[in-house]
Chains A and B, each alone.
Chain A
Amino acid sequence: MFPIGRWLFLLMVVVMSCPAIASATETMVGGAPSKPWWFWPIILFFFCLILGVLAVMAGVGGGVLYVPLVSGFFPFHLDFVRGIGLMVALAGALAAGPGLLRRNLANLSLALPVALIASTFSIIGAMLGLYLSRLNPNLIQACLGGTIVGIAFLLLFSKNTEKPVVTKQDAIGLALGLQGLYWDDGARESVEWKTHRTLLGLFMFILIGLLAGMFGLGAGWANVPVLNLVMGVPLKVSVATSKFLLSITDTSAAWIYLNRGCVIPLIAVPSIVGLMLGSILGVRILAVAKPKFIRYMVISVLLFAGLKALDKGLGLGFLG
């Protein structure tokens, strides 16, 4: 028997490929695009499907891959790519949230104060990003390139700690109740945790919020190291809380882009659905693939996309 999940999956693939069925005509007249309108949305859907698979296997969020790669290889302006990138990251975080909350891996007490800071500053970041983009698009392109290169190195060199040792909880962490207990299935034990360097961690979320809003990247790449390495939260709780956090941080920034008209449905829906279906596929493929190789491959692609954006922004022309 054919499981209903597969039918649903096939149906969505067909729906998202609809532009191919539509009888649009190619426009080749002077000044008009050389491809028909449906060409890029179809390519984008399949591209996002693959991106979703790779993101899961590399252990990174969809937004951080979507923005540099789509802005580098598709004809869309960075304003739209950032707006849709945030919607992509938001949809992914909303999809993951219920499971993480039910298993008590995403911790609400930890997420709420951090989310308030990050979401407030992501609004400022989004407004600043759109302002700079209007002032000089190359400036934002170059800054995005620099940030992506930085993220690639962060992913390559940051060594997260499974269960950081926190000897004494600080006063702020204690006042906010930033401690908890979770069940570790692998070790078959309950793990108690508490935070330290809470103030420093909270300050760092100002910067994370700004960057997330400015470049539409989501922010899992930054959330996890700050929660884990700075605040001393166990890796599992950091990853889960970070994913849940994105559903709040990205909501505020996404609204700024949405209200400014940066979300074009024709390209937004194939991106969101493609990445979500890709993530579902990725989880299945994860069981038989070699994630370490994929992770290095994704980091290399990110590095290239970052250098390409930097090259484009600075007008050097080395990478075409």
Chain B
Amino acid sequence: MNAMDNQSIKPSKEQIIYANLLLIGMLAGIIIMTITYTIYLTGILPSHVDMQLISANWGKGVHEYSEITHSPLGWGWIALLGKGDFINFIGFTLLGTLTIFCYLVLVRGYYREKNWIFTIISVLEILVLSLAASGILGSGGH
């Protein structure tokens, strides 16, 4: 293996930063999910939706379920962070936003390299993921 090969086999600096961010975020997400789920099950914080009510309705479609349980749509869960069931959304949100943060690192790297194609692709991906996360598309009312 020559020196050039060795250089090409090594991941780029951005790739390493991306990997590190992903690792930290993923571990944090799992730890947070475990803690919040424990809080939820032990009843340290009261639940917004009673567990009996959940199990009685989880066989119904999401539309009907949301109406019966008065569950918020989109980012409405933020208003219910004091409830045991909805603090679990902190972990879900962390897992869901992790890739967006990682892409910000890529944009910076590609912009510095003046790699315009990949700068544009990365910016577009951030827009697509942000649009999906925003709730504009996914949280149509009851």
Contacts and interface: CB of A to CB of B under 8 A. Distances in A.
Interface stretch (A58-66, A110-118, A281-289, A301-309): A110-118
28 contacts: A15-B34, A24-B52, A33-B55, A75-B58, A76-B59, A77-B60, A77-B65, A87-B95, A91-B29, A94-B25, A94-B95, A97-B26, A98-B20, A98-B22, A99-B19, A101-B16, A115-B125, A119-B129, A130-B62, A190-B8, A248-B99, A256-B132, A259-B75, A259-B133, A259-B137, A260-B138, A266-B55, A267-B58
B73 A19 contact: no
Nearest to B20: A98
Interface string A101-127: 111100011001101100110010011
A104 B95 contact: no
B138 A255 contact: yes
Contacts of A189: 1
A175 B117 CA distance: 9
Given A87-B92, A269-B33, A80 B58 contact: yes
A248 B125 contact: yes
Given A101-B22, A116-B121, A258-B138, A251 B129 contact: yes
A150 interface: no
Interface string A244-269: 00011001111111111111111111
Place the interface of chain B in its size category: 35 or more
Interface stretch (A49-57, A176-184, A215-223, A230-238): A176-184
Interface string B97-140: 01110000010000000000110011011001101110101111
Contact of A259 (B99, B125, B135): B135
A265 B89 contact: yes
A121 to B, nearest CB: 10
Interface of A: 12, 15-16, 18-19, 22, 24, 27, 31-33, 35-38, 40, 75-77, 79-80, 83, 87, 90-91, 94-95, 97-99, 101-104, 108-109, 112-113, 115-116, 119-120, 123, 126-127, 130, 133-134, 137, 175-176, 180-183, 189-190, 247-248, 251-269, 272-273, 276
A55 B96 CA distance: 23
A77 B42 contact: no
A146 to B, nearest CB: 21
